[in-house]
Amino acid sequence: MLVSLIDRDTEDREPQDIVEEAQKPVFYRDEKLGTFELVKGLDLFETAVQWGNQKCLLYFNLGEDKEINDCIQTARRLIHEQDKWDSSIKLFAANKLLELANDWQEQDDSDM
């Protein structure tokens, strides 16, 4: 039970300092991929990278240093070899679409 209020104007700076510090952005800088910013609610870092003529978002999860380093190394390789990967991805997609079109054609032929 509150008996009396001693002072209304007291301020505890420590909790306020903690809140202010928690609201500051957190960055991870990579010399090749640029600056990633921590998305605190999702525990992941993100940055924008160029893939061909499009800007894409690149993410990696907040984790152990080894996991982060593995993610960064993989992303560096993908970006460095993006022409090769872009061709492979397009070829894979084209093959899947061709298979799907052939399946549809077979279904149409069997319905007649």
- What is the CB neighbour count within 10 angstroms for residue 89? 11
Q: Give dist(CA 26, CA 8) in Å, integer.
A: 35
- What is the CB neighbour count within 10 angstroms for residue 99? 10
Mean pLDDT of 19-41: 91
pTM of the model: 0.66
Q: Does the pLDDT of residue 100 top 90, yes or no?
A: yes
Q: Give dist(CA 26, CA 37) in Å, integer.
A: 6
Residues 41-98: pLDDT tens digits? Answer: 899 999 999 998 999 999 998 888 888 899 999 999 999 999 999 999 999 999 999 9
Q: Give dist(CA 112, CA 108) in Å, integer.
A: 7
- Residues 88, 91, 95, 100, CA torsion sign: positive
pLDDT confidence bin for 2, thresholds 50/70/90 = low
- Quick one: tokens of 18? 């903690």
Determine the pLDDT at residue 34: 93
Cα end-to-end span (Å), the chain? 85
